[in-house]
Structure 1
Amino acid sequence: MKIALVRGSLPGVAEEIRTDALVLRRRAFGDSDWIAVLLTQACGKVSGIARGARRSRRRFAGPVLEPFQQVTVRMTQRPASELMFLHECRLLRDHQHLASDPQVYGWACYANELTERMTADHDPCPDVYRLLVETLEAFSDAPSVEPHAHHFVLRLLEHAGWTPDFDRCGLCGAPAGAATRPILDERGSGVICARHEAERVGLDPADPRFKPSRRVIEEPLLAYLRAARSRPVAGAPAEIAALATRLLDRLLDLHLTRPLKSRAFLTHVEALGAGGRSPR
């Protein structure tokens, strides 16, 4: 992987930066330009304008600025602007094939959108860059993408300082397990014992009238989530993977100010019955 190479500059002349990057998103601007959001290895997330890129066959050849592409970019900072000038992009790894399977494409969009939402502009985060590179490559080859997506979400939450604790209650510190009937903590910190919710409304936790407002997280799902923090968990039952997806979606909702657009697409794909990978 390349680290940024900064060309020495004279006073008043912008420094040129070369670094590897992943394309998170792009949009047309004017008749011939692209504005792209990139996650760079050296500078973190940046937005840049590529002048004439929609007509260029040399500086921005082919699909180089398509989402998911891994590129080497040459850019400079625009004066008094957060927007970079993108001078040239060269393709390092082509990920266009991710769009050939609806579920894989949906999860790749989810990973890109979540990365954009949970990283700060111009804040170097090489660990997140490596994580996204590894995740997109895994989406290309793995028989099931969900375990890799779950691992990605948990690692990104950790990077943001929102690591969920699935081991102990976030209020009393009791070990999470069948005896404590753990539910998702509405503060987004992990889990709490269901009894705390009962006590808050003045009910005995053993009272049969008490029904937790959120689903009790059973031990198989807890075990899956604990393992997924450190690695993708292959071979999990489909029901557990589906429950993990819903729980992590809810956890993200507690932290993000608005829903992810890619989640709506994934829900649509699932409704159409495209839960498995289609053959390539």
Structure 2
Amino acid sequence: MTQGKDRFIILRKIKYSEADLILHALSPVGEKLSFIARGALKSKKRFGGGVLEPTHFVSFTYKQAEQGQLNVLQEATLLNDFPGLRQDYDRLELALHMIDCVSKVSQEGDKSSEFLFNLLGNALKTAEIAKDPLVLKMHFYIKFLLQQGVVNAEPWMAPFFKANLAETDRLLTYRELVDEELRNVEAMIRHYLEHATL
């Protein structure tokens, strides 16, 4: 097994056996990788302080797996836990929902989806501070759907498409539009994610 080291956003954490965890994480090139963290639930030294939580931006050192096996996590360092998300239930819920959207479309072996990593990282940062999480939700959805090639840009989407996620608060003037269109866009997202994972 060769050694690997990279930065990741943790997408999912699954308890496996008495003390192990399985983690799904997104790399900077947009590839989803799976790891086993042996003894993670007991080892405070290697994986202490709640490092291995979904939404966390981390650095992993690991043994790279053979085909069809899990990478073995050796060490994890927390780079950003986006503390603002945990000050507010709505923000945390939105962050976990955005993680779930990305988790469903990201794939093992896909090394050409940097935009997914960048979209998610920027969305998590913005979710800490956005004045209106619903406007951010719409902003994220539109960028996500357009990047996935699921929708054609309609004229009303232009402000959301043109602004960076970091500029979400500049879109607060479109709040009425969000109220009008969010249900339709959520239906598109649901439909797409159901079929994306088949």
Whether these two folds match at TM > 0.5 is yes
Of all paired residues, the percent bearing the same amino acid is 23
Look up the SS of the partner of 1:19 in the other structure: strand
Deviations, residues 120-139 of structure 1 (Å, cap 9, x unaligned): 22312222112111111111
Q: Check whether the contact 1:64–1:89 (CA below 8 A) recurs between aligned residues.
A: yes
Give 1:143's aligned amino acid: K
Structure 1 residue aligned with 2:31, among 44, 53, 56?
A: 44
1:20 alignment counterpart = 7
Look up the SS of the partner of 2:194 in the other structure: coil
Look up the SS of the partner of 2:85 in the other structure: helix
Structure 2: 5+ residue stretches without partners = none
Structure 2 residue aligned with 1:152, among 125, 134, 140?
A: 140
2:176 alignment counterpart = 239
Give 1:142's aligned amino acid: A
2:51 alignment counterpart = 64
Structure having the larger proportion of residues in helix: 2
Change (3 A) 1:61 1:42: farther
Relative contact order, higher structure (CA 8 A, sep 6+)? 2
CA distance in 2, matches of 1:95, 1:63: 13
Q: What TM-score do you get using the length of structure 1 for normalisation? A: 0.62
Look up the SS of the partner of 2:48 in the other structure: coil
Q: What TM-score do you get using the length of structure 2 for normalisation? A: 0.86
Alpha-carbon deviation of 1:154? 1.9
Deviates more, 1:106-115 or 1:238-247: 238-247
Look up the SS of the partner of 1:55 in the other structure: coil
Q: Check whether the contact 2:135–2:175 (CA below 8 A) recurs between aligned residues.
A: no
Q: How does 1:158-197 map to 2 (within 5 A)?
A: 158-167=146-155
2:191 is aligned with 1:254: yes
Give 1:240's aligned amino acid: L
Q: Check whether the contact 2:143–2:160 (CA below 8 A) recurs between aligned residues.
A: no
Look up the SS of the partner of 1:107 in the other structure: helix
CA distance in 1, matches of 2:178, 2:74: 43
Alpha-carbon deviation of 1:239? 3.4
Alpha-carbon deviation of 1:236? 2.7
Moved segments of 4+, more than 6 Å: none
Structure (1 or 2) with the larger CA radius of gyration: 1
CA distance in 2, matches of 1:156, 1:15: 34
2:125 is aligned with 1:128: no
